[in-house]
């Protein structure tokens, strides 16, 4: 399957989860900041940290410039201090407003300000992220 996993990560937790998801999907995760001349793949997975209650700016900009995604699958995930999925919810809302159907949503805690949430994403969260990816591509 034609797949891309793009992430917006400042301190590494989202990048880590993106890497786990990408591995299951058989691709390499890429920073959304380096994406140029984007052509929609069959499955697009977008992930961001939560910063001041919001999705990362680079991801917001990417989503606002997204070309038509007709017939494509898009899934979203985030990592955050609260683990409440605020960026995933925001990305989902923005994508839906563009007519994009959301294939899946995942969120978990990320290590926060280097001192909070030590040990996150945890082993269990990483397993859950892998399962999320496997479900997206129909792998058992
Ligand atoms: C500047 C800054 C602002 C943050 N604001 C929030 C926030 O509003 N809510 C929250 O749950 N976590 C917040 N966090 C924690 C991050 O969402 C969390 O550490 C996340 O895993 C960061 O992802 P990253 O390591 O991929 O950058 C903030 C972290 C930073 C550095």
pLDDT in tens, the chain (140 residues): 899 999 999 999 999 999 999 999 999 999 999 999 999 999 999 999 999 999 999 999 999 999 999 999 999 999 999 999 999 999 999 999 999 999 999 999 999 877 788 899 999 999 999 999 999 998 75
Domain count, the chain: 1
Tokens 């937790």 correspond to 13
Nearest-angstrom CA–CA distance, 87 and 74:
15
Kindly give the number of the ligand 1 atom that is closest to the alpha carbon of 56: 27
Q: Of 131, 114, 140, which is closest to residue 12 (Cα–Cα)? A: 114
Reported pTM = 0.97
What is the span of the domain harbouring residue 120? 3-136
Question: Nearest to residue 17, comparing CAs of 59, 51, 45, 54?
Answer: 45
- CATH number, domain containing residue 58: 3.40.50.360
Ligand 1 atom, smallest distance to 120 CA: 21
Report the pocket of ligand 1 as residue ranges, CB < 6 Å: 9-15, 49-53, 79-82, 110-113
The pLDDT score that the predictor gives to residue 61 is 98
């Amino acid at each position: 399957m034609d797949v891309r996993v793009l992430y917006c990560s400042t301190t590494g937790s989202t990048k880590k989860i993106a890497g786990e998801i990408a591995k299951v999907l058989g691709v390499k995760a890429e920073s959304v900041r380096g994406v140029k001349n984007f052509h929609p793949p069959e499955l697009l997975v977008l992930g961001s940290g939560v910063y001041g209650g919001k999705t990362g700016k680079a991801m917001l900009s990417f989503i606002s410039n997204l070309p038509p995604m007709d017939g494509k699958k898009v899934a979203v995930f985030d990592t955050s201090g609260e683990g409440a999925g605020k960026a995933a919810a925001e990305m989902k809302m923005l994508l839906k407003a563009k007519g994009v159907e959301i294939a899946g949503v995942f969120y978990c805690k990320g290590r926060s300000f280097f001192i909070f949430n030590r040990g996150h994403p945890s082993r269990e969260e990483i397993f859950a992220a892998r399962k999320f990816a496997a479900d997206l591509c129909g792998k058992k």
